[in-house]
């Protein structure tokens, strides 16, 4: 979509504690009452029509993993589980 529209992509990571995590493929998170939450973002990232899709996918996956890990580290540092 970013390639077609020219819109930048923003990578977001979300972590809450305490929470329930579903055993589904997407590991849905359900915050429990009075949970702490953290949202971390990185970007914008742009893609040109001629960019290598495999390289972009690898790079974007790494950035998404990094923001998710950062969110989890911050919620843990804030007194989470």
- What is the Cβ-side half-sphere exposure of residue 40, based on CA atoms within 13 angstroms? 16
* Mean pLDDT within 14-25: 93
CA distance 29 to 80: 14
pLDDT band at residue 22 under the 50/70/90 scheme: very high
Question: Would you say 2 and 54 are in contact if contact means Cβ atoms under 8 Å apart?
Answer: no
- State how far the Cα of 53 lies from the Cα of 49, in Å rounded to an integer: 9
* pLDDT for position 62: 97
Q: What does the pLDDT read at residue 26?
A: 87
pLDDT in tens, 23-49: 999 889 999 999 999 999 998 999 988
CA 81 to CA 51: how far, in whole Å? Answer: 41
pLDDT of res. 72? 94
pLDDT at 81 over 60: no
Peptide bond into 18 cis (omega under 30): yes
């Amino acid at each position: 979509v970013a390639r077609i529209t020219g819109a930048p992509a923003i990578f977001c990571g979300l972590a809450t504690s305490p929470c329930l995590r579903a055993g589904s493929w997407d590991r849905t998170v359900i915050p429990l009452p009075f949970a702490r939450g953290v949202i971390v973002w990185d970007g914008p990232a742009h893609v040109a029509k001629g960019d290598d899709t495999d390289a972009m996918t690898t790079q974007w996956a790494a950035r998404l993993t990094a923001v998710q890990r950062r969110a989890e580290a911050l919620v843990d540092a804030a007194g989470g589980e």
